[in-house]
Amino acid sequence: MSKTIAVLGTFDTKGEEFAYLIERIREAGCEVVSIDTGIIGKPFFEATVKRDQVAQAGGSSIAELVEKNDRGYAVTTMMNGAGEIVLSLFEAGKIDGIISMGGSAGTTIGTYAMRKLPVGVPKVMISTLASGDVAKYVGPKDIFMLNSIVDISGINKISKTIFSLAAGAVTGAAKSAYVGGDDGKKVIAASMFGVTTPCVTKAKAYLEEQGYEVLVFHAVGSGGRCLESLVDGGMVQGVLDMTTTEWCDELVGGVLSAGPERLDAAAKKGVPQVVSCGALDMVNFGEWDSVPKKFAGRNLYKHNASVTLMRTTVEECAELGRIIAEKLNKCVGPCTLMLPLGGVSAIDKPGAPFYGPEEDKALFDALRKTLTNPKVKLLEMDNNINDDEFALTAAKELDAYIKG
């Protein structure tokens, strides 16, 4: 059975380029559903889903967009409309992958639509921005960003090469996508950092012995966003959130924030979870000289040549405790909050660089004071977070919740 690829973009300003791309996709043996997000110029070819349909799905009309003559408003409208249409096509079983191309506006529209699709659906974006910071375009999804090399303006030796590579990528991915059956294993998402690795590794081994599949996410911002996305998408049956350190960077201004939605998905969805304070003793920066001057005099630790850690203060720890407790107060499902009274990371223990009894006390006191949700069990242990006893207790708590 042949696969169908959604080709999305402005078929007026980049119609010739999209026509070439579509030709190469069809040569590879795939069908095409074309979606036009252009507004003003005449389309180079007739699309399967016309621009009026996209605008209407975005809550407006082409006539209104032309009359307003507001580029920002137009891009947002077509972006929202494209997202709704692509998702509905996928849910109806009418597309197996998606590809787009463009500059800043085209990349914004194309990747927004791609982020509407589940992980595992092939997504290829040919972009003039692909060699820069593309975090906001990729987000927590598996989007292939392909550098266009030259501007997307006409058909030439370079653009033919890139468009052909892109066509091969999306068609090959659609034909090769994993379609394995359900093995019956329930999925657990776990958060880990270098300084909480012993804890999560021990807990993961125990949970796998009980028959679970454990997905581990590196708590570096993108990891936390991916974890939240999978939980929100219903792909996870339990969360072992031992490493909530991304909130340090969100609060203080480090480089590994996962955003203010971190800890929202499981609470909102009622997914069973065990949460702890892993690495709440640190804010992350790059190399030593990258630490902002306003933090001069703070307790800094050179983790490696590329990573500098900064110890959180008493005041910051108190605020972190309040934030995390407020997040857990919104839980509608079973949850245990575990406090490792012996330290929240591998370097928060006697003799280690970030050992801070006062800071940890402020954190734990704020958690105790702010937590009011009767669905959340508070469990305190005298261990460091990386002690085997602490890790196994966390794993057993989550196992019991999932098994009911």
Contact 145, 127 (CB under 8 A): yes
Phi, psi of 275 (to 5 degrees): -120, 140
pLDDT band at 181 (very low <50, low <70, confident <90, very high): low
Q: What is the dotted CATH code of the domain comprising 187-403?
A: 3.40.50.12030
pLDDT for the residue 297: 94
Q: Which residue, among 255, 178, 271, has the nearest Cα to 263 in the 3D structure?
A: 271
DSSP 387: S
Locate the domains of the chain by residue range. Answer: 4-176, 187-403
Chain segment 263-284, per-residue pLDDT in tens: 999 999 999 999 999 999 999 9
Mean pLDDT of 12-37: 97
Chain segment 25-71, per-residue pLDDT in tens: 999 999 999 999 999 899 999 999 999 999 999 999 999 999 999 99
Helix pair 388-403, 197-209: axis angle to 10 deg: 40
pTM of the predicted protein model:
0.83
Q: What 3-state class would DSSP assign to 276?
A: coil
Q: What percent of the chain has pLDDT over 70?
A: 99
pLDDT for the residue 184: 83
Q: What 3-state class would DSSP assign to 339?
A: strand
> Which two structure tokens, joined as six digits, stand for 358?
């006062």
DSSP 316: H
Task: State how far the Cα of 331 lies from the Cα of 141, in Å rounded to an integer.
Answer: 25
> Which two structure tokens, joined as six digits, stand for 398?
């989550």
* CATH T-level assignment (fold) for domain 4-176: Rossmann fold (3.40.50)
pLDDT band at 182 (very low <50, low <70, confident <90, very high): low
pLDDT band at 1 (very low <50, low <70, confident <90, very high): confident
Contact 263, 323 (CB under 8 A): no
pLDDT for the residue 338: 98
Residue 374, burial from CB neighbour count under 10 angstroms (0-12, 13-18, 19+): exposed
Task: State how far the Cα of 276 lies from the Cα of 156, in Å rounded to an integer.
Answer: 55
DSSP 49: B
Q: What 3-state class would DSSP assign to 75?
A: helix
Q: Which residue, among 388, 387, 367, 370, has the nearest Cα to 379 in the 3D structure?
A: 367
CA atoms within 13 A on the CB side of 121: 23
Task: State how far the Cα of 260 lies from the Cα of 90, in Å rounded to an integer.
Answer: 29
Residue 142, burial from CB neighbour count under 10 angstroms (0-12, 13-18, 19+): middle
